[in-house]
Each structure stands twice: as C-alpha cells, then as structure tokens.
Amino acid sequence: MTYLEYNVARTPTGLRKVLAMNWALLIVVVAVASFGFMVLYSVAGGSMTPWAEAQIERFVLGLAAMFIVAMVPIWFWRNTSALLYAFGLLLLVAVEVVGVTGGGAQRWIDVGPLRLQPSEVMKVVLVMFLAAYYDWLPPSKVSRPQWVLVPILIMMVPTALVLKQPDLGTSILLVTGGGAIMFLAGVHWAYFVTVIGAGVALVTAVLKSRGTDWQILKDYQYRRIDTFIDPESDPLGAGYHITQSKIALGSGGLQGKGFMQGTQARLNFLPEKHTDFIFTALAEEFGFIGSMSLLVLYMLIVAFCIWTAVKTKDRFASLVSLGVAVTFFLFFAVNMSMVMGLAPVVGVPLPLVSYGGSAMLVLMVAFGMVQSAHVHRPRMPSEGRLLKR
C-alpha cells in the first residue's frame, strides 16, 4: 500500500475524529476562558450578569463551532477560502452602509439577534486566503515582484475598509498577520526591510500631518499617541485610562489582593474593565503570579499551534496553523503592552478573556482550523493507535 493509499484508507471518521483532536490545546483554551469568566464575575460585583453569563454562553457556542470546523477536512477550508474572503469583504462594506455605531466608531452590523464585528472575522479569513494563495503558488515564484504584489493587495483592501471605521488596532493586526504569512511562506527578506522603511516614513508623515488639512489620523488617535508618550500630562483626561491601569497593575503585587478584592476595578476607577483593560483587573486580584500563569497558558496555545504546523505535511494546513499562532500572539501581546503603557491604546481585546462575542467566536473557529489540520494531517503507518480500526 502506498503512502497516499494508506492515508485515504485510514482517514479518521466519526468518533475517531473527535478522539484524534489535540485535546491538550482544547484544555488550555478552556483554562484561559475560565480566567475570563472569573474576572468578569468579579468586576460585576460578584454577579453572573451582565457579562460572565453571556460570555459563558458565547464560549459554549464557540466550542460547538470549533468542533464542527475541526470535523471538516482541511482541504475543504482551502477550497472555500476565496469565497470566505469575498464574504468578509462584503461584511466590511455592509458596515459602511448599515453598520451600528458604538463608542464613536461604526464597526458592527446586526445579524438577527447577533451583533457581529466583521473586522474580527477578517483576521482569520485573511490568514486562510493568504495560506491558500501560497499553497497554490509554486515556491519558485514566491519572491517574484508580480506575485508579491498580489498578497499585498489582498491585505490592503480589507485594511483600508477597517481603517475607515476607524479601527487602527485591527488594521495593524491585519497587516502584521498578513505580513507574517508572507514571511513564513518564504518571501525574500528584502521586501520586509523595504516595508519597515516605508513604515518609518509613514509614521513620520502621520506625526507631521497633525493639525494640517491632510491630517491622516483622527484627533482622538493623536491624543492616544500623546498619552502613550506622557500619560501624566493629562491624568484626568486622555491619560486617565493608562494611569488607572498602571495603578491597578502595581497594586496587585506578587500574589494579588484576592478574588473579588480588586478596588480599582470594583470601585470603577478602572475604565473598560470588562473589555480592553480586563488584564489589569486580573493582575490586581491575582497579582504577578496570576498574570504569569495566564501568560504561560497563552504561550502553550501558541506552542500547540506551531506543533500542529510542524507535524502536518500539507502546506495550507501548516501556514494556517502558523497564521493562527501569530495572530493569537499579536492579540495578547498588543493588549498586554497597551495596558502596561508599552504601546499606545488601540482597542485590542485580550483573547478569550475580554468580554465580546465576535472576537470569542472567531478565535474558536480559528482553533477549529488548527484542530482540522491536526485531525486530518497525513500519517505514517507506524504513527498512533488512533488510526487502527
């Protein structure tokens, strides 16, 4: 029996697919989400409403979505990636037409009883489409200019739509995640040096444009930059968020104040305590030990995604798994840097912990893609008892 015939004959089906999943990854994901449930319960004053109960319901729905995605062969997701990308663009356009405004930004659309944020969907769909592109493209053409231009255009179209909402944080994540896929696919390093140089020029232009007729960013985004540079310059205004965040982080100490004992969050000194700044609420109650425990769990998720990418021999599956790992890393790295004052406040939620439906569901679907790559990866005849009938 040939290698191909063996894998066709021994492809897991039914219950064997469930047993073949990466259960270690699933357990860690549940552990991280549980952190979020506890903190949401605490910042609500010891109540399951309005955040913890809704978050648990969304997580259960996300788990179901993850299992469904995992059971579908990875080649199906490769073949439908272009359609999903087009659908994601359609949703972003719909935001401009019938979008719902919240917090001064138009980023959501109502789909029946659900409120969906299409930019969150695009984070995963973009990774899928770029992975499918490089799976189709011969390795010899990866670094040729005309073939490098195509993925750049693929990234820039949704990025421009998201930036218009305005959502600078998600725009940065789209470009960075897409660039990571290009690098992992083997695009020559010289392109990235050029992009970095262009990025420096763009930052310079952004700063120079302030107060002019061709101002690039919104006024509130410039205030965020000012706050990042010197939060003490306006501690009760633009610098209030980060100032209170640092107070909460420092007051937690080594072991924290204890569950439901965080004063900054419970007394409402800490703004957006259930979304963007939830990490500081966690750090205040569980201290450095609790914060590092969460960080270790995050790094385990990244490691499991990378492990799946290394084990699979399918280029699309490998790139998708690596793309999910990079995107997930950027999520928590940007959020943690933001609340600690190491990066400007750009409104990126803490993955699986911050309150929010779209981000939760999209992440669980992304992990379902990794699970699909793991379940349906090619196997050698000597690999694993799960393949035995």
| Mean pLDDT of the region 269-297 | 88
pLDDT at position 193, please? 93
Q: Please, what sign has the CA dihedral across residues 72, 74, 77, 79?
A: negative
Contact 118, 85 (CB under 8 A): no
| Mean pLDDT, residues 4-17 | 57
When pLDDT is cut at 50, 70 and 90, the band that residue 2 belongs to is: very low
CB 295 within 8 A of CB 328: no
Identify the pLDDT of residue 316: 93
Helices (H), the chain: 3-9, 15-19, 23-43, 52-71, 74-98, 118-136, 145-163, 168-185, 189-208, 219-229, 240-251, 263-266, 278-311, 315-339, 357-375
| Mean pLDDT of the region 328-333 | 92
Dist. CA 254–CA 269, nearest whole Å: 21
The per-residue pLDDT for range 45-77, each reduced to its tens digit, is: 888 888 899 999 999 999 999 999 999 999 999
Whether residue 277 is predicted with pLDDT greater than 50 in this model: the reply is yes
Least confident piece of the model among 106-120, 204-218, 297-311: 106-120
Both tokens of residue 236? Answer: 């009760």
Over 70: is that where the pLDDT of 386 sits? no
Section 308-325 average pLDDT: 92
Structural tokens at position 182: 């290009």
Residue 199 sits at φ, ψ, to 5 deg, of -65, -40
- What does the pLDDT look like over 161-173, one tens digit per residue? 998 887 888 888 8
Q: Is 343 helix (H, G, I), strand (E, B) or coil?
A: coil
Residue 159: the pLDDT is 93
Q: Looking at the predicted structure, is the pLDDT value of residue 6 above 60? A: no
Q: Which residues pair with 60 in a beta bridge?
A: none
Report, as an integer, the average pLDDT of 217-234.
75
- Burial status of residue 200 (CB atoms within 10 A of its CB: 0-12, 13-18, 19 or more): exposed
Average pLDDT, integer, range 238-247: 78
**Rounded to the nearest 5°, which phi and psi values hold at 114?**
-100, 145
Q: What percent of the chain has pLDDT over 90?
A: 45
Residue with the larger pLDDT of the pair 265 and 193: 193
Identity (one letter) of the amino acid at 151? Answer: P
pLDDT higher than threshold 70 for residue 236: no
* Lowest-confidence pick of 37-41, 357-361, 375-379: 375-379
**With bands split at pLDDT 50, 70 and 90, how would you rate the model's confidence at 130?**
very high
Handedness of CA 136, 139, 143, 144 (dihedral sign): negative
Domain ranges of the chain: 3-387
Give CA–CA dist 28/221, Å, rounded.
35
Q: Which residues pair with 342 in a beta bridge?
A: none
Q: Are 292 and 252 in contact (CB under 8 A)?
A: no
Peptide bond into 73 cis (omega under 30): no
pTM: 0.86
Over the chain, what is the mean pLDDT?
A: 85
Q: What angle do CA 160, 164, 166 make, to 5 degrees?
A: 125
What is the identity of the amino acid at 50?
P
385 pLDDT band, cuts 50/70/90, is very low
Give percent of the chain above pLDDT 70: 90
Q: Give how far Cα 292 sits from Cα of 15, 34, 363, Å.
A: 36, 15, 22
DSSP state of 99: P
Above 90 in pLDDT, residue 258? Answer: no
- Give whole-number Cα distances, 134 to 173, 190, 316, 330, in Å: 20, 18, 8, 22
